[in-house]
Amino acid sequence: MIVYLVRRFGQSLLAIAAMAVLVFLGVYAIGNPVDILISPEATQADIIATTERLGLDKPLYEQFGIFIWNALHGDLGNSFVYGRPALDIILERLPATMELALVALVISVGFGVPLGVWAGLRPTSLAGRTIMGGSILGFSLPNFWQGMLLILVFAVLLGWLPAGGRGETTEFLGLEVSFLTLDGLSHLILPAINLALFKMSLIIRLARANTREVALQDYVKFARAKGLSTRRVVLVHILKNIMIPVVTIIGLELGSMVAFAIVTETVFAWPGMGKLLIDSINLLDRPLIVAYLMLTVLIIVMINLLVDVLYSMLDPRIRLSEMKG
Amino acid sequence: MTDQSVASELELVGNPATVRIDSPITRVAKEFVEDRIAIAGLILIVAIAFVAIAAPWIAPQDPYDLAQLSILDGGLPPGAESMTGQTYWLGTDQQGRDMLSGIMYGLRISLLVAAVSLGLAITIGVVVGVAAAYFGGKLDSFIMRIVDLQLSFPAILIALILLALLGRGVDKVILALVIVQWAYYARTVRSSAIVERRKDYIDAARCLALSHRRIMFRHLLPNCVPPLIVVATVQIAQAIALEATLSFLGVGVPITEPSLGLLIANGYDYLLSGRYWVSLFPGIALVLTIVAINVVGDRLRDVLNPRLST
């Protein structure tokens, strides 16, 4: 187990290092930041002075060393636009994004697993076919388009829910959250559904496929033959066995939800870090872009690591095959 | 193997002329057409592709020729008539641009981006994947490390990073999509090639001292095609959606070459003020395209994967 943990942890570090190199090369080596920072009328002396001040006259490997050193100390540079440390600005926006992602995850699992199992038990029934048809639609509708339809129907036509923003927030465990006030909840509902729909379709399909396979196994037939109620067979014998792949997907998808929140936050003007990224790209605020990328990479790699470790605890076969490989 | 199939095989060996076996393509086509929804999807794809290719000849108006636009026709609802008596079936946008023509031209760009990036990504993915499986060892583990690393990050994040660095442009969107997608094909091809590689016909080919290239692409690759087709249909739908999303976010195609995603983004501001048609109709075109491809892809997966067809 320890061998596996060390090995897996090493892989995660490698992934973060690789992304750091790519982000650094991408952001700092392509194009010249000085051109953006300095006015077009600047003299040659000004340009040289700025280049020196930013350390851009040093060789690339030295710049990279400085970048890594500062990054390890939690310093990813000051935002050009806000004039404050980029990481602080991102971290201020992090709770809003995490709240959105977690609520969306709860929705997608809460509806996805039961619907998928239902469709898997009766694959040819009308309900089963409808669920599958719906999941193709959930798959096919691009995220931003779903969001716009939700706004069009529930905000513009029906006027039930607000079209954007976060609404009233309250303090919860030291963080600002929306889901505890009625106003905040009404703002949260549409974006969360929007973010959940795609993952829900994914979970429905996964749960359905696994249910179909598991339902044919001998132990399910035996459980039925023993005279157990259908409810018990489904809830205990089938559900338990389909949860292993579902749990993995849930873990992995949490990371991708943070990324997909970029789209949802833009459509619903949700003040999270994804919207901040789009704003920063439009304003060419490089330190903020770098800070966002490094933080997101860190979050995703950590989640992947956590899922793998949990999974290997649940299923020893994985651990063994990894150790051999 | 049951007695019956042995018997039919013996018969086949003894008397090849009497038993006709369908080629794999005919078999797949025959099974495919059993599903009516899949046929509808296929017809829709063909129709959409035709509209996209023929747009300059069949569109009522060239939406980017300013001489043909009249600002007086701006913001007309669907079905309204223009000053010159022409009917705008899907309405017009703020500049008096016919939405129907705009959508036809937009489809053109959306499909062009998706098709070109698909071709390039498949080519790279296939070469890398087959090589990894065929040569194995260090090359294989090196390539798969990169693939795993890339696939552990969401596609949209990687594409967004690339475009944030490169700037807008049709060529840049294509480049970003290729970089995002090649890994899926590499992994798919490698996983089926690694199974095929252990089979006798590869050993036989090697005994004949055929070149590596010939074995890889003439012997190994053709046997890895079915899963590749399935992944390709899923991925082309993904590519269209991803391009639309990037353009919607303002980092995709430039304003001079609007794809469906950019048309939707342009109409987004008018959505709340009741001019729904400016972004609703391009959205419907986009969704129809993606749904049609996914429906066909779903059916192909069922047909090409015998394990699921029970």
Tally of structural domains, chain B: 1
Encode pLDDT of A3-42 as tens digits: 777 877 888 888 888 877 877 777 665 556 666 666 666 6
**pLDDT (tens digit, 9 = 90+) per residue, A271-281?**
888 888 888 87
**Closest chain A residue by Cα to residue B268:** A148
Which of B110, B165, B247 best probes binding to A when mutated, by most A CB atoms within 10 angstroms?
B165
Residue A175, strand partner residues: A172
Q: Report the CATH architecture of A86-323.
A: Orthogonal Bundle (1.10)
Nearest C-alpha in B relative to A137:
B291
Which of A50-54, A182-186, B134-138 is predicted most confidently?
Answer: B134-138
Average pLDDT over residues A63-78: 76
A250 CB within 8 Å of a chain B CB: no
B3: in domain: no
Phi, psi of B74 (to 5 degrees): -65, 140
What percentage of chain B has pLDDT greater than the value 90?
6
Which residue of B152, B162, B249 is in closest CB contact with A266?
B249
Nearest to A60 by CA among A37, A35, A80, A30: A30
Q: Is the pLDDT of residue B1 over 50?
A: no
- Indicate the SS3 state at residue B16: coil
Chains A, B: CB pairs < 8 Å: 97
Mean pLDDT of chain B: 79
Residues in chain B within 8 Å Cβ distance of A141:
287, 290
pLDDT at B17 over 70: no
Q: Is the pLDDT of residue B291 over 70?
A: yes
B19–chain A nearest CA distance, Å: 35
| Least confident window among A218-227, B60-69, B145-154, B295-304 | B60-69
**Chain B contact for A215, CB < 8 A?**
no
Which range has the worst mean pLDDT, A102-106, B7-11, B68-72?
Answer: B7-11
CB atoms A140 and B294 under 8 Å: yes
Give domain status of residue B229, yes or no. yes
Rounded to two decimals, the pTM is: 0.80
User: What pLDDT is stored for residue B120 in this prediction?
Assistant: 94
Please determine, for residue B136, whether its predicted confidence score (pLDDT) is greater than 70: yes
pLDDT of A72 above 90: no
User: Among A120-124, B70-74, B91-95, which is the least confidently predicted range?
Assistant: B70-74
Nearest-by-Cβ selection for A282 from B165, B248, B250: B250
Q: Which domain holds residue B129?
A: 25-304
Range of weakest confidence among A236-250, B13-27, B131-145: B13-27
What is the mean pLDDT of the segment spanning B17-37? Answer: 72
> Which among A30, A143, A155 is the nearest to B245, CB-wise?
A143
Give A155→chain B minimum CA distance, Å.
Answer: 9
Judge: B164–A156 Cβ closer than 8 Å, yes or no.
Answer: no
Q: The CATH number of the domain where B129 resides is what?
A: 1.10.3720.10
Q: Identify the pLDDT of residue B144.
A: 86
Measure in Å the smallest separation between the Cα of B166 and chain A Cα atoms.
Answer: 8
Does residue B47 fall inside a structural domain?
A: yes
Burial of B137 (0-12, 13-18, 19+ CB in 10 A): exposed
Residue B146 lies in a domain: yes
Chain A residues with beta carbon closer than 8 angstroms to that of B294? 136, 139-140
The confidence score (pLDDT) of residue A120 equals 81
